Structure 1
Amino acid sequence: MYEAGQREKLNIAKSNEDAYVKLARLSLETYVKTGKRTEIPGGLPEEMLRDRAGAFISLKKDGQLRGCIGTIGPVTGCVAEEIVRNAVSAGTEDPRFSPVTARELPNLVYSVDVLAEPEPIASMEELDVKRYGVIVTSGYKRGLLLPNLEGVDTPEQQVSIAREKAGIRKAESYSLERFKVVRHK
């Protein structure tokens, strides 16, 4: 009974996916099944082919994070290429997880966050965890945390997690940037 309910929820989520999420799903599924990256399909919205931006792909399985990789700024020619690249990386290169297997593919829920240009801020008081993601930088160390994440309720938590991800110790000085995202589910 539980499994049937979960399958139904997944099917509803998949049927409501927009072009960004469908491309992320196609990218990872193609790579896991064939070992090759997918070509950019036709019929994508023009802004996906025209615009350049960083993008993070998050994968969840049974409500738990299963992979998340992205780019702060664009490293490819367009958002569609960024999604193809980062979806494969989220499923196969996130060091916190083993690579996604073909058996897992039907159980994954995807989200795609397209990042706006980061802006420097003077202090945590300029953060709103629901509205802004944060980038914490100290020398060559850089950590990023997306906005509006479950369990992250204060700017202090947000900055602490981003510092930890970057390996920035409490005694080290750091600078802050904030950014908005457009989240596609």
Structure 2
Amino acid sequence: MLSKKDGDYLIKIAKLAVETYLKKGEKINVPKDCPEHLKEDLGVFVTLNKNNELRGCIGYPEPIAPLINATIDVAISAAVNDPRFPSLTEEELKYVDFEVTVLTKPELLQVDNPSDYLKEITIGKDGLIVENGFSKGLLLPQVATEYNMDVETFLANTCMKAGLSTECWLKNETKIYTFQGQIFKE
């Protein structure tokens, strides 16, 4: 578990990374004052909201890089590479709120029957990854609560995020992973 101080630091770095990239076109280096424990490999997402509306969200679901490096990378990507939105402008930056979600390692849910997923997933605690063949979709834990989803709706929306049918979670070849996220907001 990270502290609120750690979360505030990650938000500060995410904002600095985006601001520097938008102003100078450069990626910042890991600050010298970065605490050692923020260099552990962890998954992370950075979400940008403007006027309480999504403006960008990109992340690494797997722990493939040190948390601080991953935060810098995905913050910039959320600002300029989210295919759902045009690149953030420097002028917009003052209207954007940053959110950093640090993830636990995804765990495959093992069930005898796909309908058992409904009993295994906890809304407000679990994030989901749905995988079928080369298709993969992810929704963060907070999405289900923000949109008042029940477990079945959460599964269906994660399937859609993967570009699959809303019922794909009922197929035996579909894999469902859960993870938890520690959310830090401005």
Counterpart of 1:52?
A: 41
Structure 1 unaligned segments of length 5 or more: list them.
1-16
The residue identity in structure 2 corresponding to 1:67 is G
Q: Is the partner of 2:141 in helix, strand or coil? A: coil
Q: Does 1:151 align with 2:147?
A: yes
Deviation at 1:19, TM superposition (A): 0.4
Asked whether the 8 Å contact 1:129–1:152 carries over to 2, the reply is: no
Counterpart of 2:84?
A: 96
The residue identity in structure 1 corresponding to 2:61 is I
Structure 2 unaligned segments of length 5 or more: list them.
1-6, 112-116
Q: Is the partner of 2:136 in helix, strand or coil? A: strand
Deviation at 1:120, TM superposition (A): 1.4
The within-5 A match list for 1:1-185 is 18-49=8-39, 51-76=40-65, 78-121=66-109, 122=111, 123-149=117-143, 150-170=146-166, 172=168, 173=171, 174-185=174-185
Deviation at 1:142, TM superposition (A): 0.6
Q: Deviations over 1:21-66 (max 9, x none)?
A: 11111111111111110111122222112x1011100000111000
Deviation at 1:171, TM superposition (A): 5.7
Matched pairs, number: 167
Question: TM-score of the superposition, structure 2-length normalised?
Answer: 0.85
Asked whether the 8 Å contact 1:135–1:176 carries over to 2, the reply is: yes
| Aligned equivalents of 2:54, 2:8: Cα separation in 1 | 20
Q: Is the partner of 1:21 in helix, strand or coil? A: helix
The residue identity in structure 1 corresponding to 2:164 is I
Question: TM-score of the superposition, structure 1-length normalised?
Answer: 0.86
Counterpart of 1:6?
A: none
- When the two chains are superposed, the root-mean-square deviation of aligned CA atoms in Å is 1.4
